[in-house]
Amino acid sequence: MNTEASQPFDVYNATLTELEQLLHNWQQPPFRARQLYRQLYVNWIDDLAQATDLPAALRERLAQETRLGSLELVHTQHADAGMTRKALFKLDNGAVVETVLMVYPERATVCISTQAGCAMGCVFCATGTLGLLKNLTSGEIVAQMLWASRELRQINPQISITNLVFMGMGEPFANYDRWWAAVERLHDPQGFNFGARRMTVSTVGLVPGIRRLADAPLPINLAISLHAPNDALRSELMPINTRYPIAELLAATRAYISRTRRRVSFEYVLLNERNDTPELAAELATLLRGSRTQPPLLCHVNLIPWNPFPGTPLNRSIRKRVLAFQQVLIDAGIACTVRVERGVEIAAACGQLAGHTQLKPTAAPASLEIV
Ligand code: SAH
Ligand code: SF4
C-alpha cells in the first residue's frame, strides 16, 4: 500500500507557485497563497487556527483537504541542560527519523535527516545498520527545520538558527531531488529565508551528487566523509568506496573546488587502532597536500571521535591518539579540528541516530536512488 498517496496533500511539499495554483483552483484571490506561505515559513504556525488572516472557510477547506506536515512528533529528549534537544518523528510508513537542535549562547545549529535509515552500510554508523526505510519528501525535510525553529523560539527567542547541517539520518545525495527541493524552500527569500552559506551537506562520497552540487545555483557548503586515506581501509569501513574509490572522489572534490572556490571539509571518524595511527595520518596528509602535478586541496579536516552505539565491536579513539593524529596533520600544514560532540547521552551525536524505538515500516522500503 502506498501510504503516502493515501494521505492528504502535505502543504510543506509545495512551492509558493504550487500553493498559488492550488488556491487558484479553489477560486481564491492570488494573495491568499502568499498569506498562507508566510504563515507557514515566516510565522511557523503549527496549527491552521493560528493563520487568523485567512478566512475561516478557507482554513476549514485546507484542514479537510491538506495537512500541515506529515511528521508525527513521538517525543523529544533533552541533554546539556536543555541546550541539546533531539526530536523523534514517526513517518507515514511507521519508520522514524530524528532531528537534533544544538543551542549555544549566540548561535544554534540544527542537524536534519534526509532519509529514514540509510542504504550505505558504513560499519561505524548506527543509521547504517537499519538499511533504507524511506527517502524523505521535501516537506518532511523542511518540517524538521520548522520544528527546530519553534523549539528555539521557546528556549531563547533572542537568537535564531544560524547553521543547518544535513548530517542526520541518511545520505542526502541518495535522495538528491527531494533534498534539493527542501534546500530551495528553506532558502526562499519570500519564505523561510535561510542563507545557503549557512547550510552544509555531508556526503558519504556519492560522486555524481558532488558533481551536481558543483553546478547548483546556491552556495551550500560541502562536507565529505572520508574516514580512511586508502582504498583498502576505506572499503572495509564504507562499502560505497568500491563504487566510488578515493581517486574518483578526490577528482570530483577538486572539480567542485575549482568550480565554486569553496573550501570543503573532510570528516574523519576516529576508531581506536583501526584508522587512527600516525602512519595513516601521514598518508592522509599526503593525499590532501597535493603534489608536483596537483595543487593542495582547499580543505579542512574535521576529526570526529567515534560515538558508540550498541552491538558493534568498534571502539572510540582515546584522547591521546586523537590529539596525536591531529598533530600530524597540523604539522603537515593541513587545517584540522576535533569536533566537540553534543548529546552523546541521549544518542544525539553524529552517527548515533537510529531511532531507538524504530518501528517496523508498514510500507515497502523506497528504492535506492543513486544520482
Ligand atoms: N550520510 C552522510 C551524512 C550523515 S552522517 C555522510 O555519511 O556523510 C554524518 C557524519 O557522521 C558523517 O561524517 C558520518 O561518517 C559520521 N558518523 C557516522 N557514524 C558515526 C559515529 N558512530 N560516530 C561519529 N560519527 C559518525
Ligand atoms: Fe549512511 Fe552516512 Fe551512516 Fe554511512 S555514515 S551509513 S552514509 S548515514
Measured from the alpha carbon of residue 351, the closest ligand is 1
Residue type, 305: P
Active site residue 350: yes
Decide if pLDDT at 371 tops 70: no
Q: pLDDT, tens digit, for every residue of 14-46?
A: 999 999 999 999 999 989 999 999 999 999 999
Say yes or no: CB of residue 204 within 6 Å of ligand 2.
yes
**What does pLDDT average to over the chain?**
92
| 295 alpha carbon – ligand 1 mean position (Å) | 28
Instruction: Using the predicted structure, report yes or no on whether residue 366 has a pLDDT greater than 50.
Output: no
Q: Over pLDDT 70: what percentage of the chain?
A: 94
Class of domain 72-346: alpha beta
Nine-digit cell string for 282: 601521514
Flag the least confident range among 126-140, 185-199, 335-349, 352-366. 352-366
Closest CA to 353 of 96, 90, 79: 96
Catalytic site residue from 111, 118, 336, 350: 350
Give CA–CA dist 169/349, Å, rounded: 11
Q: Is the CB of 205 under 6 A from ligand 2?
A: no
Maximum Cα–Cα distance across the chain: 70
> What does the domain layout of the chain look like in residue ranges?
3-67, 72-346
Does this model's pTM top 0.75? My answer is yes
Residue count of the chain: 371
Q: How big is the CA angle at 199 (ends 36 and 330), to the nearest 5 degrees?
A: 170
Residue nearest to atom 4 of ligand 1 (CA): 167
Mean pLDDT to the nearest integer, 264-292: 95
In 191-335 the beta strands, taken as DSSP E runs, fall at 199-203, 221-225, 264-270, 299-305
Any catalytic annotation for residue 98?
yes
Lowest mean pLDDT among 115-119, 164-168, 304-308: 304-308
C-alpha 60/C-alpha 63 separation (Å) is: 5
State the DSSP string of 295-346: PPP-EEEEEEEPPP-TT----BPPHHHHHHHHHHHHHTT--EEEPPP--GGG
Q: Which burial class, exposed, middle or buried, applies to 222 when counting CB atoms under 10 A from its CB (0-12, 13-18, 19+)? A: buried
Angstrom distance (rounded) from CA 7 to CA 67? 8
CATH for the 3-67 domain, from 1.10.3720.10, 1.10.150.530, 1.20.1250.20, 3.30.420.40 = 1.10.150.530
